[in-house]
Structure 1
């Protein structure tokens, strides 16, 4: 740090660290009076949780599988923006949790298929399909190629999709294919597979199973019900573009602009009275910004300084960043990478 300015000594940092590390260090905001604290860099709020640890474990596992290497630095919360979002889209499916869990197990190839059990060292009397008794029971046969399951595909008028899925050998590619279909067909296939898996388990226990026509009928009715119950209703368009503050207050509308890949951001603030009269406006550019949240935090900090310069005591600040609004809660101590800026802004607002 430069003792005269209280900021990073850029030349020293760049001479000491490699270019990538230096870039991340210089992006860390500094403020006087803020002490060091322990934070979990893989969470946007700096808080460690089992969820974020699991995400890190899965990312490291994927990197080892693909022969990748680790990084010495990474921006806060980067696990929430990983390239593989296949697990996220499963939990967003418009269906009950049981169907989502089945899809998750299908995606991770963890269904108790006979061939899977044998491959994992479990003793099975036979790996033959419970429906036809001819071929080995794997996912491709049970859900796509078995003569019994083909009848359900035809009942659902999805023979074309069945043939295209039959030509795919990878489970991951198969799931990508399903997400390329429209949502109704996707839900019909996943619901049908879930029901077929339930029928298979009943058949294994010697219980009576539904006919192919009944499975198809229940698939169609259940899918329509899921779409009605679980799909979110369209949000009504907001016609009130600007809400005036109280009579004796001035409202500051604040916004930050960030382009991924750039190392800077723009910010702007407009102050209006309750009558909508513009008191003032200010905009600027901030260097060494690494994400959109940092841009919003810097915008709010500059807006508070702007209000101070105007001599406005009773002010209201509005931002479109929900994460920033939560971070500004004075009852909580922020532990994110931008804690210095956020806590300094809170302090200014108290004055």
Structure 2
């Protein structure tokens, strides 16, 4: 997960992980009272970094990292997002020669890869056991992709969503360790999975098979949740190609939203801006909203 900086108004300079690298890191310079949000460092008229302000506040390493961040032409809200790999799988960054520890940050016993995070880590095994997702001993020797296929083949359709949500939750928990130094208990992961599963069970009547777009067009799916009491919305979107590979995904919190139609209309604009930011110019829009057509 990482921030895509637009107006910088949602990102704390001193408390958030927003500088480029792996893991995405916080600034290391001594805190200054001159600036608070990333937006304070941006020349909004020129859509560029205010170098004269940045130089006296930050150390050399932070200055270099800040100036390496490409400034978007959009003045919309910042986006917390994950950019997918062409393979559709999470990539072990060691293969990209990124200099990081190659041991699991939770158990510190084995080299970390997709299989360890999702299956072999003792932490992951406790989560699977409490969710009553089990597999045979011989399946433990399979690669991640074959093991995942085996899980879907040996469990009924009612368990398929649980499997997908659990893998996502384990990876999300791993990223919290790397980016935020937060170590969620495995019981908390189980509770989160069950919460999502309850949400899916409520909405099963609106679930439908996803249909890929025709090549070379991409498809942008979006949805939004709205709180009338707090007058804010959360927009979510995902972009996939004709093979179903994820090209990008993200979400945006927006305040001062007074009614649901406004939230559902806004998510379209936010999704299109997001697609443009990552270089996508041709995309089909799809939503389950009956109010926006």
TM over 0.5: no
Normalised to the residue count of structure 1, the TM-score between the two structures is 0.32
Give the structure with the higher percent helix.
Answer: 1
TM-score (norm 2): 0.38
* Greater C-alpha radius of gyration: 1
